[in-house]
Structure 1
Amino acid sequence: MTTTYAALLRGINVGGKKKVPMAELRQLMEGLGHDTVRTHLQSGQAVFASGHGDEESLADELTQAIEKRFGFPVDVIVRDHAYLRAIVEDCPFPAADLQPKQLHVTYFSGPVDADRFREIDQQACLPEEFRLGDRALYLYAPDGLGRSKLAEQLARPRVNKGLIATTRNWNTVTKLVDLTAP
């Protein structure tokens, strides 16, 4: 059985560092035996179909292949269509009423619980808010991510310790659901 996945690459093609041309990424993934490989934007999203492995093994395989091909490590999270759709459906914020730049999802490589975020004073950052989901964090930042005080606190190494974390805006979140649809 073939499943469609999205690979989320963290920190590539930003500020001229860790350059991964999308055509080369597609070629690399096809060489790993994946089908219908497509990329979205230059910021690290690839959609592919695979009949082998699971999210974790596919992420590990791609991480190793990228480092071998491009010469630097890139963290990768792989999620299937059902998961990506559930993230959109379970959004605790009124996404339809917000501008896409105001809503973001941080995907984590593993489960997160509220204890990890206990040092963050959400009241001091209002009207910004965050809520936890399944291996994800939803962030409402009314002035956008670049001006978000809460996003800055959420990105601290001690908050994300031991996990891969990568953030996408709501446009990308919903586009990945569309691109991975069967």
Structure 2
Amino acid sequence: MKYIALLRGINVGGNRKVEMKKLRTLLESLGYTEVSTYINSGNIIFESEDDKKTVLLKIQKAFEITFDFEIPTLVKTENEMKKIANAIPRGWQNDATQKTDVAYLFPEADSKKIIEELPLKKEFLEIRYIKGAIIWNIKRENLSKSQLTKLISHKLYKGMTIRNVNTARFLAGEKE
């Protein structure tokens, strides 16, 4: 089965540095195949015969042994990633006029109610829930009005890992 591991909070602002080559080698040492990484922000695509729960436990244990800091990790199947990517309207892009992101949700945060709890001014953005993620699109001119930047200080922020729409589509197997 094809899996995608999403690592939260690595290689951000020069902190919690993790080399992608080291990640690939580590996952290969666990017996996973076809291991590849996408950009430097903790996206690993690989194949395994293990079930999703076993994959997550093996990866977490290996990270704990290998790195001196916790790496919150979310494991999704290729099908889960495709369902999320397919829920993104085709017109939602990242360009000069708009910004689209996907917040993949850890199990403790995965609820439709999360949208109501976030400190966002929803009149300035479109936001949708799909099992496993929330997706938003905003006109760049409304970024500051939406209070999207306040998300980082909200308690639910630790229950998600965010990727831009291009990364989300790539990880789901969509080629441009």
Q: TM-score range by the shorter chain?
A: 0.7 to 0.9
Does 2:72 align with 1:71?
no
* Preserved contact between residue 125 and residue 150 of structure 1 (Cα < 8 Å): no
Identify the match of residue 104 of structure 1 among 92, 101, 105: 101
* Preserved contact between residue 117 and residue 159 of structure 1 (Cα < 8 Å): no
Does 2:111 align with 1:113?
yes
**Residues 87 and 59 of structure 1: CA distance in aligned 2, closer, same or farther (over 3 Å):** same
Identify the match of residue 83 of structure 1 among 66, 75, 80: 80
Distance, in Å, in 2 between the alignment partners of 1:126 and 1:42 is 33
- Whichever residue aligns with residue 137 of structure 1, its letter is I
Aligned to 2:169: 174
1:1-182 aligned at under 5 Å gives the runs 3-54=1-52, 56-91=53-88, 94-96=89-91, 98-99=93-94, 102-110=99-107, 112-120=110-118, 124-143=121-140, 147=144, 149-160=146-157, 164-178=159-173
Q: Unaligned 5+ residue runs, structure 2?
A: none
**Residues 112 and 61 of structure 1: CA distance in aligned 2, closer, same or farther (over 3 Å):** same
1:146 is displaced (CA, Å) by 7.5
* Preserved contact between residue 123 and residue 146 of structure 2 (Cα < 8 Å): no
1:45 is displaced (CA, Å) by 0.3
Q: Unaligned 5+ residue runs, structure 1?
A: none
- Whichever residue aligns with residue 47 of structure 2, its letter is A
Query: Over residues 98-134 of structure 1, what are the superposed CA-to-partner deviations in whole Å (9 max), with x where a residue is unaligned?
Result: 3366111101122633434434465x45322311111
Normalising by the residue count of structure 2, what TM-score does the alignment of the two structures yield?
0.83
Identity %: 27
* Preserved contact between residue 102 and residue 145 of structure 1 (Cα < 8 Å): no
**Residues 169 and 51 of structure 1: CA distance in aligned 2, closer, same or farther (over 3 Å):** same
* Preserved contact between residue 99 and residue 138 of structure 2 (Cα < 8 Å): yes
Normalising by the residue count of structure 1, what TM-score does the alignment of the two structures yield?
0.81
* Preserved contact between residue 5 and residue 78 of structure 1 (Cα < 8 Å): yes
Distance, in Å, in 2 between the alignment partners of 1:126 and 1:145 is 10
* Preserved contact between residue 95 and residue 103 of structure 1 (Cα < 8 Å): no
Distance, in Å, in 1 between the alignment partners of 2:64 and 2:80 is 26
1:8 is displaced (CA, Å) by 0.4
**Residues 95 and 63 of structure 1: CA distance in aligned 2, closer, same or farther (over 3 Å):** same
